[in-house]
């Protein structure tokens, strides 16, 4: 398996008196590992476990890089804030576009 096939899901970032904690789940089809972001920088054995669990072909350095990219991508998705009166209109428009797109595929 390749690192790009891993998914970062259930990202939860909290802050308590400027102490940040980030917990997330690494998943593929049928397998998941819960990870604390602090472990990524302090526990080298974690990457060995990830490599073994998901049978990843790449090096530990590549695994680190890809996971951090995926965590950063997930954090930007989680932190988007929609403000203003048009937020609901945008969601409805997106929903209509998806429905129309699925009808065009038929």
Q: For 12, phi and psi rounded to 5 degrees? A: -130, 110
Per-residue pLDDT in tens (0 to 9) along the chain, 106 residues: 888 888 988 888 887 887 778 888 999 888 899 998 888 878 888 999 999 999 999 999 999 899 989 888 888 765 554 455 555 556 667 766 776 666 655 5
Nearest to 15 by CA among 91, 61, 79: 79
Q: What is the model's pLDDT at position 98?
A: 72
Q: What is the model's pLDDT at position 3?
A: 85
- If 0-12 CB within 10 Å is exposed, 13-18 middle and 19+ buried, where does residue 4 land? exposed
Q: Where are the domains of the chain?
A: 3-81
Q: What is the model's pLDDT at position 38?
A: 84
DSSP states of 53-90 as a string? Answer: HHT--S-HHHHHHHHHHHHHHHHHHHT----STTHHHH
Q: What is the model's pLDDT at position 21?
A: 82
Q: What is the model's pLDDT at position 54?
A: 92
């Amino acid at each position: 398996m390749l690192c790009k096939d891993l998914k970062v899901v259930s990202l939860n970032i909290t802050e308590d008196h400027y102490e940040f904690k980030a917990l997330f789940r690494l998943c593929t089809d049928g397998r998941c590992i819960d990870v604390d972001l602090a472990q990524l920088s302090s526990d080298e054995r974690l990457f060995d476990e990830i490599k073994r669990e998901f049978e990843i072909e790449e090096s530990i350095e590549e695994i680190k890089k890809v996971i951090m990219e995926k965590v950063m991508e997930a954090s930007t998705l989680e932190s988007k804030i929609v403000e203003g009166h048009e937020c609901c209109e945008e969601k409805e428009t997106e929903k209509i576009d998806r429905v129309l797109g699925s009808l065009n595929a038929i």
